[in-house]
Amino acid sequence: MALQNDLVQAAPKILCWYGVPVLLTEAQRFSLLLHDLYLHAASGDEIDNLQQINGRTTAYVYSFDYYATQCRAHSEALQVAAAKKLAQYINSFCSHNSIVVTRTLSAKVEDIFRNADISFVQKDLTYEKPFFQFIRTHVISLFHEHERPERHYIRVVPRAVKEFRVFIKTLARPSDSTLTAELLNLSLNGLQLKMSDTKYKLLKLRDSVQVTLRSPKLVIRLDCGFITRIDSATDEIAVGYNVYDKSFVDSRDSIQLQRLVLMTLEQGARHELKGKVASEFSA
């Protein structure tokens, strides 16, 4: 797995888009995550380090218009020079899982990428409909299919994970005392907890529980989840849920949970693209 560090234990498919032409809403980014795709909007200063998260479940889209602007290539001659530089960079590590897109077609620029055997498309993606159509028709095919099942392997560790206090209530036995735990990691369909009370051993697989995550800045409540794993050797349990089903979690808490996962993926990607700078984790 390419994107894996203290923040991201198991990543979805990673799409690094250098020069994203539209500003996606949180809801659109959440929807992509639920389809096992994290779109990372790579900034201008990150391009030299994109290879650090290259892997079999990573793909890249390069906006040549954005790249040319960053290089101040306003004339055709300068654009040709910029195209040669970008083609050489792409071929250094990821030509098989990359595509270059531009709004305006220059035959000389196109020849540079064609001769370098790099996929090249002329298309205006500044509107949502062609943007998402482009993802479906051109981008998805860049990933290695059948590499692994979708969605189930997103797992992150928020920076503030140690700040969370976790409270668990067994729904089938409301008279039972509230259990406490530490948050280890979470995804869009589950979380892993380290229990701090031996009474958790009364829990059984498939027990329904209510889980509250509380930190100084955030409170998230899962109205219902199911115990999917119990490891008495490590005092850990896993709780599964459906983030889009209101019988598991209401809309507000669902948004907070998805935002926490998305923000952690963003931080993990930024960390990789900054050359694994140790100070990134000092916050």
Domains of the chain from N-terminus onward: 8-153 (3.40.50), 157-265 (2.40.10.220)
The sheet carrying 119-122 orders its strands as: 37-42, 13-18, 58-63, 98-102, 119-122
Q: Which amino acid belongs to residue 251?
A: S
Q: What is the pLDDT of residues 114-160, one digit of tens each?
A: 999 999 999 999 999 999 999 999 999 888 665 555 555 689 999 99
pTM of the model: 0.86
Q: What is the pLDDT of residues 8-52, one digit of tens each?
A: 999 899 999 999 999 899 989 998 988 889 999 998 889 999 998
**For residues 140 and 15, what is the distance between their CA atoms, to the nearest angstrom?**
9
